[in-house]
Structure 1
Amino acid sequence: MDQSDAKAAGGVPTDEEQATGLEREVMLAARKGQDPYNILAPKATSGEEDNSTVIWFWLHKGEAQRCPSCGTHYKLVPHQLAH
């Protein structure tokens, strides 16, 4: 019995079938390999396994800024969330 048969027979729907709103948008985007709201876990991290110290720094709107620790560049880009 596949998932569509289980649903028709009163089975439990999958997360994709049940999700709505922002949760559904994020699931569909993640399936395409996108992260429109930057809420998914990063694909790679900098630093070393034995040095997991968090380096905090101010990020201002405008030009990209370089992390003082790892050299990665970040840019603050404001956007509207879908409601």
Structure 2
Amino acid sequence: MFLQRSAVSVARRAAASSSPVLRRSIATTVVRRDAISEHKTPQQKIQTLADVKTIDDLVGPGAAPGTVPTDLEQATGIERLEILGKMEGVDIFDMRPLDASRRGTLDNPIVVRSAGDEQYAGCTGSPADSHIVHWLGMSRKRPIERCPECGSVYKMEYIGPAEDHHDHGHGDHHGHEDPKTFADYVKPQYW
């Protein structure tokens, strides 16, 4: 019995050592590993949020030849700005949910911050999820909106740049006028 087991194990070792496929894969792996280490470039300094001064600073360096790029290496524009902010613990786009613990009033509305000329907010009622989502559109010209179902009031707070590069002093943008709603016909004393 002992002789049979040892003969089987010797046969397995001989078959494994004489296999040309096994020798080929080990040799190839060693060559690949050496090839990657030769092309490796020195590690670049990681960009921080404070390093971003112009839009040209929001272009990633790309990956080293023969490697797969990380999100930080390939990201450009506002995606790169968001990643740099997250690395430093700053939420660039302020993605926290709105305050749903109370109902907004005209005296104390729920504030929605926006860097653009308009912002949409979804109201689910107070307490949260008491009705389906109603999307409310607010703009710089009309910053206050009221939910038609629960009556909660939302106010857009503009936090973008002070000057408007697209206005060119024409007032309405290419003659576009916001559509009228029932809020346009409410008497001023009711506001």
Larger Rg: 1 or 2?
A: 2
TM-score between the two structures when normalised by the length of structure 1: 0.48
TM-score between the two structures when normalised by the length of structure 2: 0.27
- Which of the two has greater strand per residue? 2
The higher-RCO structure (CA 8 Å, 6+ apart) is 1
